[in-house]
Amino acid sequence: MPTKTTMPSRCPACAHGLVEVEAGIASWCPACRWNLDVYDPALAPWRGTRLVGRWGFRRGLEVDRATHEELLADPAASAAGTSRGEVWLMVFSVVLALIGVAALGYLAWLVVADGPPPGVRLVLAIPAVLVLLLVKPSFGRVPRYGAIAERDAPQLHRLVREVAAAAGTPVPDVICADLNINAGVARLGWRQRSVLVVGMPLWLMLPRPARVSLLAHELGHLANGDPLRVRRTLPARAFGARAVAATGGRNPWRRALHSANSLAEQGSGTVVLLGMLVQGALALVNVAGATAQLLVDSVAMPDSRRAEYRADLVARRVAGTGAFLQSAETVLLADRIWQDLWHQAPRLDSEQLESIAAEARRHLAPQLPLARQLSRRTTDLWSTHPSEDQRMRLIEALPGIGGMLHVDDSRWAAIDAELASWRRAAYHALLGTRDRF
């Protein structure tokens, strides 16, 4: 009879009790981290097959280890020049651009050609139009809603200028707020203006020093030229994802089978056969697009992860070690803090959000060690960011520093007053309504 293997209750390496999160998740030792860095399909991102997922998980750990060694050896070193992966992505982007130009030329020829009748020309134009949709340039749009003008928030703009000066980068052209638990920086529009976006829910959850760290991290991407590098290789990065989205997203074969069953119930044999051929063709294009995206991300994501680590080093230098770690801890707990706020929202007003968020952070603090370790299993080679644990371990391995920029309570009070309308918007988001201001 086959025997069933069971996980020991204590660590075979140090005899510490193992962590058992829930059924189906592999246990590990929180003390010596035995069995922590294993591929766990219950937590790792799904990449089509377990074989691919396991390889990507292990490869992600290797990239993180190599990056740690590189940055610990010289954390103050400037970002390296164009990497081999970036060169490949730029070459691929140029090839896609040339294909787009050829498709445009083909369409122009169809317009002026005398031979084919209009109906035939329309049919012949469809493949070229589809190609253009997949390779068309995308410059993005500078957000209109949420832009914070300097006349409306002079103290916030002053703080961003100070953080930019300390990070060694020009001040962003536009500062925006939104209602996502996130923050980001990008170059958008025809003029490629730099845009800093701060998610107000995350801003309210962060301790005040950690807000400086958040700004320094995002502006660190500008200092390191990351948005520009992404923009140069965007055609290659977006090609596969566009193909997948255009053909219906994930699970193409399941969708094709469901469509075939529906057609079989409603149509004749010819209709069913035609529908199956169309759905099969779409599924093949979908799989090809997903495979292409996976290959492109295999090349792109190591640079993306390295960029996050370098932005973290900027945050440590500007805001200090403690502020960075507070920021990372809050990000780890952000969804749980927001859930706590959601439950209490009917009994609160917008002015209480920060204090209740701080109370929730303290209440959830005992969960931090396990949440931090567990984050290692939720990222792999194709994740845009390393795990929070990997990022915190890099900063903790460096000497602790106090940071270059400190903001007193009176300035924070002024910034809070400037963002009062956004605090109300976050509060109404908690209540499930919209704040039109």
Average pLDDT, the chain: 87
pLDDT at 408: 93
pLDDT at 158: 97
| Residue 315 token pair | 């945050």
Whether residue 271 has pLDDT greater than 70? no
pLDDT at 84: 83
Whether residue 6 has pLDDT greater than 70? no
CA angle 144, 149, 153 (to 5 degrees): 135
Whether residue 109 has pLDDT greater than 60? yes
pLDDT at 145: 85
Whether residue 308 has pLDDT greater than 60? yes
Distance between CA 247 and CA 236 in Å, rounded? 18
pLDDT at 3: 43
Which residues, in sequence order, are CB contacts of 222 under 8 Å at separation 6+? 164, 167, 169, 170, 172, 185, 194
| Residue 59 token pair | 């490869």
| Residue 369 token pair | 């060690």
Whether residue 435 has pLDDT greater than 90? no
pLDDT at 369: 92
- Side-chain half-sphere of 153: how many Cα atoms within 13 Å? 23
pLDDT at 1: 39
pLDDT at 260: 67
Instruction: Report DSSP letters for 152-179, one per residue.
Output: T-HHHHHHHHHHHHHHTSPPPSEEEEES
Q: What is the mean pLDDT of residues 53-66?
A: 92
pTM (2 decimals)? 0.87
pLDDT at 7: 62
SS3 content of the chain, % helix, strand, coil (to 5): 65, 5, 30
pLDDT at 349: 85
